[in-house]
Structure 1
């Protein structure tokens, strides 16, 4: 798991994260204006109410997704949106902004896992209603507990506060997974204590996905 430039991005000595990506900073730095062909493709897909996350969940990628979700909701409230995702995970705070937006808009969102829904990606997968969660035949889902990344500096009392906050956050995320999957909170807590991988069939059996994509 990787740490961002904390003073620039989070203004905090510690950052709760939920990812396995080693190149978040480079991915965010490269998230500039798309090339002309890429911009045309994005425009066409947006007209079809399709949005994409390909890479880590960062402040920049979450901003892009949230803006598109709110835009599509504004121009055609209640009309379906398809969200394609291949992510190693990332920032919890950024990811929860996307999760809450999906839950709050009236447009139903179908989530399609194309390669991996790891860590925060499993939470984003859980944002879709049951029946609207698709996974490619060879895609994977990974659940595990969040980590604090970054240099922890401060009095012991502050570190204790951070540890308690992480426990609260872990319980909240596990409850989301339990609600989405139908598994007990005890099972989700046990399974996510370490890396827990699920292939497409296993993700459906676990209750985190509903359908394997057979045709595009």
Structure 2
């Protein structure tokens, strides 16, 4: 009688194989989905019992970068397929990318929007890639303010700081002025295809062949 493999066991085995192939051998991390603040992570198939390389939060990617950077890895790649989420989490990841000793390759796949765009833009110059069918979107940070007048005023000030930080990041890595960035994203979502993303300065090259173009 053939041995039956439970679906959950099968998925866990696949995740272990993927982790070995991509994380341990190719130093390729995966930032996917929107951060769930209740867990602090994103889960494979929305199943919190199956955390893995293929569905990982900014916090998990930070831990992996710090580990690999300590090993003095010659390069670290991050595939990004994320609509964003908590801005502070992505800005923390951006800061780690900027301070890492190893070159950080950022690779956009699917939809990369909101705060996740700062991670794409923050990769090592010349090593920021985007797949041909991918799209990016940038907009002003948003927040849900609540409380009394003093609370609303404080939250508005914090949102202004986050906005200035986000615009500053995009300005630094695209070569555009903060005023140009704000004009583009003021009160609207700004969508771009792969070629437009490169032209805007969020990425350096559209991927035609992963092995030869990216080299990971």
Q: In which range does the TM-score fall when normalised by the shorter chain?
A: 0.7 to 0.9
Question: TM-score with structure 2 length normalisation?
Answer: 0.79
Partner of 2:7: none
Mapped to 1, the partners of 2:168 and 2:91 lie a distance apart of: 14
Mapped to 2, the partners of 1:165 and 1:97 lie a distance apart of: 16
Shift of 1:129: 2.4
Question: C-alpha offsets along residues 131-172 of structure 1, whole Å, 9 cap, x if unaligned?
Answer: 1110000111100011113x612x201211110111121011
Corresponding position: 1:197 with 2:174 = no
Mapped to 2, the partners of 1:168 and 1:71 lie a distance apart of: 30
Mapped to 1, the partners of 2:118 and 2:73 lie a distance apart of: 22
Unaligned runs of 5+ in 2: 1-10, 42-56, 211-216
Matches within 5 A, 1:51-90: 51-58=29-36, 59-60=40-41, 61-75=57-71, 77-90=72-85
Partner of 1:209: 203
Taking only aligned residues, the RMSD between alpha carbons, in angstroms, comes to: 1.4
Unaligned runs of 5+ in 1: 1-33
Mapped to 1, the partners of 2:17 and 2:183 lie a distance apart of: 45
The total of aligned residue pairs comes to 180
Q: Report the secondary structure of 2:126's partner residue.
A: coil
Q: Is the 8 A contact 1:132 1:210 kept in 2?
A: yes
Matches within 5 A, 1:155-170: 155-170=148-163
Greater Rg over alpha carbons, structure: 2
Q: Report the secondary structure of 1:209's partner residue.
A: coil
Mapped to 1, the partners of 2:14 and 2:158 lie a distance apart of: 44
